[in-house]
Every structure is written in structure tokens, then in C-alpha cells.
Amino acid sequence: MDRIKIVGGQRLKGKIPISGAKNAALPLMIASLLTQDRLTLKNVPNLADVNLLARILRNHGVDHSVDGKRAGNNQHIGETFHLTARDIVDTTAPYEMVSRMRASFWVLGPLLARMGEARVSMPGGCAIGTRPVDLHLMGMKALGAEIDIDGGYVVARAPKGLRGNRIIFPKVSVGATHNVMMAATLAKGETVIENAAREPEVADVANCLVKMGAKIEGIGTSTVRIQGRDRLEGAVHTVLPDRIETGTYAFAVAATGGELFLEGARPELLETPLDVLRRIGATVTIEEGGIRVSRDGGHLEPVSIETQPYPGFPTDLQAQLMALTTTARGTSVIRETIFENRFMHVQELVRLGADIKLHGDTATISGVQGLRGAQVMATDLRASVSLVIAGLIADGETMINRVYHLDRGFERLEHKLSACGAIIERITA
């Protein structure tokens, strides 16, 4: 299994191109199931999760091709995918595939809406909590589907098609919002989703669905109104930039010192994390075509934050923020309110010399003078990249084992960082 070796202590300086957002690319690809016509997606990041989902979609009968690109050519622009689900040949999403990536569960809504049936394995994904699917099922039932659980599979049927309804989610769920919104585009009549997720990736998918002919109001708000249509058409859509990747590199340079220009990043997608960075002591400047983040020799201030659904501080940046606060001058408090078990990075950060105490959903981080390199283990996607940040600030060598999670969500991470002065290399087993 690949490992990543980092020799810490280098300041980052240079330009990092921001890739298309994984969390938008995945549901956008799934939206191709809603139409017989071709959906073209530009700026798709080259990631393990994206490639796995492409396999899952091919299994359902989606024709998938990628525009050719010469090596080294416009690497930051991302790939162009053409997806055509002319005939859906299989409405089962098997355990072997869905268990490896939770977002593939979201094929449920589109398959059900278009084919009147779907058999989708209960998901797996990052080990960051129990991550139930009750809200997805609640949404599908409200749209008139019959749901059974059989042998680890969700078996959903709507032989006469789905019917619009009013759905009030008791809790904000990104995935359930995607799933229900996509299904509702082909339901009869109007669907209103209350307490919908407002994440920019949900809005990106909604905008693409509108290009495909869907009628959606309230995009980007917590009340989304969808008028069902008989069919959707093809469209061309560009995946929005990845705000989590943006935030990760912004936190990395705040941690190491130096200056990075995050090319293609859109500041309006991550106002809360950028505010936190300023409070911590980094300089954030919004420029034409990207965001510049820098920190000179000054010390880092401690912060207290809790994770919240968008526009609050994202859970997907919690681990990276924690790595940054390990060397702040004072005590920081980070409360995780979205996933109950998203603290696997804590033990590993402690191995690098951090002083972190955990009480339930709250981590208290007492800043230390510096971290020291060690062997650490990557556990989930965002935890893995927090160890990269910690490795960049630690004295000496840090070896991160089991890095496959990183490849699920960060495109060309070690290239992007080494181009900016980091000493980081992948050791292929």
C-alpha cells in the first residue's frame, strides 16, 4: 500500500490550481441517470471515487467517455466526461461497489424515478460514524415509493411512478437532499423539500438539473421547490471548484507560513473558513481568479469553533483546522456536531506531539511549541489530509501509512504541494 513521506519545516510558496469539487462531481455524474440524452461534465477531478462511480454507472448501462488530454496539458482544468444513459440495463447497485463509496447510494432516487424500481446496497464509505440512510428512505417513501430492506439491500418500487409531496427533513442531510431532489425532477407534480441542505454542491447539482430541463426554485436555500417533468434532456455543465480542497491548502499555508495563490478558488464558497483563518492570524486576500493566503513569522491565535451545515464551518475541514491549531499560542476548542465519530485523526496528531483532549464531541487543543515527525496512519479522507498538514509543520520525517483515502478526494496532492516547496513524496509499495 502506498505511503507518503514528508520532511517538515518548509514554508509553502507558489500557486496551487484548485480542482473541481468531488462532492459535486459525484452527484452530477449520478444525474446522468435521469435522461436518455448525453450529459457532458467539465472540470471533473481525477479521483479514485470518481473512477469508482464511473464503473458503477457503467454497470447500470451508462455509456461513459472521457475527452482525450495530453499528459501535462492543462492538468488543472480537469477532465471532460460524457455520460449517456440511453438504456438502463440494470437497476441493482451491488454491495461490492456501494460499500466502497457512500455517495453511490444516491443512484437510488434517479433509478427509481426513471425506471420505477431500484435495488441498492446499503452504503459504506468513511468510518466516521454510523451514517444511516433513514432520511433518504423517508424522502423516497414520501414520493410514493414502497421500500423493503432485503439482504442488506434497499429495494424500492414505484410501478406507477413517483408523486410530488412536501418533505420536511428533521435534520440537514446533503445526500438525502441530492437524492430526493433528483428523484423529484421526474415525479408527477410538485415536491417541496424543507430544511434542505444549502451546500454549494447541492446548488451546483440543482443548476445542472435546470439546464437538463428540470423546474427548480429556491436553489441554494433551505426550501427547494421542484415541479416534476416527464423527461429531462442532455446538458453541458462545469463542476464548481472544490471548497474543501481550497480550505485545506489555505490551512496548510497558514500552518507552515509562506504564501499560496489558490487558483480558481471561489471565496464565496468558504466565507466561514476564511474568516476563521483571518482570526487565526493568516492574511487572506481575494484576487481576480483566486484567493491568496499568507502568513509571515507571526504566531497563530487559538480559536473556538463548531462544525455546522453550510454556511457554517464544514465538518470536512474540521481535521485540517485541528492540525493547524496544534501549534497555536493558547487553547482551541473544536466541537464536531455533524458526525459523532470524526476524531480518528486526534490520536495520530498526538503521536506527532500535539496536546489534544477529547470529551464526547469536543476536542480541546492546547497549542505546543512544535510537532515532531513520526509514523502515522491515515484513517478517513479528511483525517488523512490533516496528517499531511501536521507533517508539513513537524520537525523531521513523517511517514503517513495507508494513504488510499487521500486518493479518493485530493487530486495530485503531493505534486501540488511539492511544486510549492514542500518535501513530500509518495512511496509506492
Nearer to ligand UD1 (CB atom), residue 105 or residue 249: 105
Q: Write the binding mask 294 to 333 for ligand UD1: x where contact by CB under 6 A, - elsewhere.
A: ---------------------xx-----------------
Q: Using CB under 6 A, which of 55, 58, 171, 415 touches ligand UD1?
A: 171
**Binding test (CB under 6 A) with ligand UD1, winner from 176, 280, 323, 406:** 176
Q: Which is nearer to ligand UD1, 201 or 259 (CB)?
A: 201
Q: Are the CB atoms for 32 and 82 separated by under 8 Å? A: no
Q: Which of 85, 98, 120, 133 binds ligand UD1 (CB under 6 A)?
A: 133
Q: Which of 10, 32, 104, 173 binds ligand UD1 (CB under 6 A)?
A: 173
Catalytic residue from among 126, 216, 344, 387: 126
- What is the SS3 assignment for 29? helix
Instruction: Please identify, among the stretches 8-16, 171-179, 292-300, 410-418, the one whose residues bind ligand UD1 according to the rule CB under 6 A.
Output: 171-179
Which x/- pattern over 345-384 shows residues binding ligand UD1 (rule: CB under 6 A)? ----------------------------------------
Residue 189 has what DSSP assignment?
S
Give the whole-angstrom CA distance, residue 277 versus residue 283.
8
Tell me which of 175, 241, 264, 353 binds ligand UD1, using CB under 6 A.
175
Query: In 15-107, which ranges are continuous DSSP H helix?
Result: 22-31, 48-60, 95-98
Binding mask 86-125 for ligand UD1 (x = CB under 6 A): ----------------xx----------------------
Please state the closest distance from residue 289 (CB atom) to ligand UD1, in A. 26
For residue 124, give the nearest of 104, 145, 141 by alpha carbon. Answer: 104
> For ligand UD1, which is the closer residue by CB, 128 or 277?
128
Is 145 a binding residue for ligand UD1 by CB under 6 A? The answer is no
Sign of the Cα torsion 56, 3, 75, 8 reads: positive
Query: Is there binding between residue 208 and ligand UD1 (CB under 6 A)?
Result: no
Q: Which helix (DSSP H) or strand (DSSP E) does residue 362 occupy?
A: strand 362-366
Candidates 70-78, 89-97, 110-118, 130-138 — which segment interacts with ligand UD1 by CB under 6 A?
A: 130-138
Q: 3-class secondary structure for 294-339?
A: EECCCCCCCCEEEECCCCCECHHHHHHHHHHHCCCCCEEEEECCCC
Rounded Cα gap, residues 252 and 264, in angstroms: 17
Q: What angle do CA 10, 16, 22 make, to 5 degrees?
A: 120
Would residue 126 show up in a list of annotated catalytic residues for this protein?
A: yes
Pick the piece of the chain touching ligand UD1 (CB under 6 A) from 174-182, 248-256, 293-301, 400-408: 174-182
CA-CA distance, 330 to 42, in Å (whole number)?
44
174 lies in the site for ligand UD1, by CB under 6 A: yes
Choices 33-41, 53-61, 166-174, 278-286; region in contact with ligand UD1 by CB under 6 A: 166-174
User: Please, what is the minimum distance in Å from the beta carbon of residue 339 to ligand UD1?
Assistant: 5
Residue 349: closest CA among 307, 404, 386, 299: 386
**Size (the chain), residues:** 429
In b/e form, how buried is each residue of 14-31, taking b as 16+ CB within 10 angstroms? Answer: bebbbbbbbbbbbbbbbb
Question: At its nearest, how many Å lie between ligand UD1 and the CB of residue 49?
Answer: 8
Contact assessment for residue 302 and residue 328, using Cβ atoms and an 8 Å cutoff: yes
By DSSP bridging, strand 117-121 and strand 153-157 are antiparallel
The residue ranges that bind ligand UD1 (CB under 6 A) are 23, 26, 102-103, 129, 131-136, 171, 173-176, 201, 315-316, 338-339
Q: Which residues are catalytic, by number?
A: 126
